Amino acid sequence: MFYHFALLAPLLIRQATAVGTAFGYATGTTGGGSATAATPTSNAQLVSWLGDSTARVIVLTTMFDFTGTATSAAGCEPWTCSPNPQLAIDKDDWCENYEPSATKTTITYNSGGMAPITVGSNKTLLGKGSSAGITGTGLYLSGVENVIIQNIRITNINPEFVWGGDAIGIDGGQYIWIDHNYIDHIGRQFIATGYGAVTHTTISNNVFNGQSTYSATCNGCQYWVLILTGDGDQITLALNYFYYTSGRGPHVGGTSGYTQKIHIYNNYYVTVLGHAIDPEVGANVLAEGNYFNVVTTPVLAGVGAAYVPTTSAQASACSSYIGRACQVNAFLNSGTVSAASTSALQALDDSYVLGASVMAASAVGAYVQANAGLGIVN
């Protein structure tokens, strides 16, 4: 599909809109819809447009720098591995509560990472080309609906420090499509949901590049990737490229009494020197048609419910629960998997999962490498 971007006025762009159609649980998401597209010319204008109550299509053509000023605060050294362990900002007394024996220190970080940009409802945030996005801070969505974030890079949010900031945080919301983005060099989570339900949401075609000088696991791989913990989260995670990570790909659940429904398919996991999928209490996860290429532990043996078919018999068994056969996952130089909880299938028995177009895992590597990330759709 070809979109013509003709200049109408200094800030107005004709026919700019999110490219493609939201699928999976985010089906029906339209973002800013037919609002006239415009490009902000300052950080202040971008913040204002994203946070107001007006339906908008916001087109970025360059990187917006929100690094902020150097700020000193108390911190600690929770990991003693080598080389280059992350340090932790003592946010909400985290060091005292969770790492009381860690050596205390003073940390100097960039203030922008702790002040994410608020995103309101009915917004499309769309990057042009492969060099548009935000550096130094992330995006925060709370109780919103109808938001599309597409083709932008989010980077350089205090990568040395845990609690230095998330790339995208969502605490309650629905009809959210996070598509074709590139996220790297983040101190905390690439994407995190809070305790509020995040429903009708799809995370697709993104590159999660975990290569970093600093790491909680001291192996050059980002540990804090995705954490999905909302009470009632309903999320499709499809066609993403996870590269050089070491954990939380995603972490699902963890709070007693909360439940999540997560459909994970056709993702390409490469050089995960730790674990990928982590189903904890309350989690209901169906992972099918994914390709795990050099992944130490593809699925942690958590207490959550996960169905991750590794044989044709397990794939066929899906028919009795979701109305179609699943796709077998593929593994190359990766750990073994034993996750066949049919209660996860029972929880994911809905039209979104039934109607998903899931390709064979053998096709995933080539497809994702050619189609995920920036500059593909716009």
What tens digit of pLDDT does each residue of 88-114 get?
A: 999 999 999 999 999 999 999 999 999
Annotation says 248 is catalytic:
yes
DSSP alpha helices (H): ranges in 9-65?
Answer: 43-51
| Cβ contact 49:120 at 8 Å | no
pLDDT digits (tens, 9 = 90+) for 268-321: 999 999 999 999 999 999 999 999 999 999 999 989 999 999 999 999 999 999
Per-residue tokens: 216: 């909680």
Residue 5 confidence (pLDDT): 32
Give the HSE-up count for residue 325: Cα atoms under 13 Å, Cβ half-sphere.
12
Per-residue tokens: 62: 């360059």
Residues 6+ apart with CB under 8 A from 100: none
Residues 6+ apart with CB under 8 A from 192: 166, 168, 169, 170, 226, 227, 228, 229
Residues 6+ apart with CB under 8 A from 53: 120, 121
Reported pTM:
0.96
Q: Are strands 63-65 and 56-60 parallel, antiparallel or unpaired?
A: unpaired
Report the alpha-carbon distance of residue 73 to residue 238 in Å, rounded.
38
Which of the following is catalytic: 56, 153, 188, 248?
Answer: 248
Residue 263 confidence (pLDDT): 98
Residue 12 confidence (pLDDT): 55
Residue 339 confidence (pLDDT): 97
Could you say which residues of the chain have pLDDT below 70?
1-16
Residue 4 confidence (pLDDT): 32
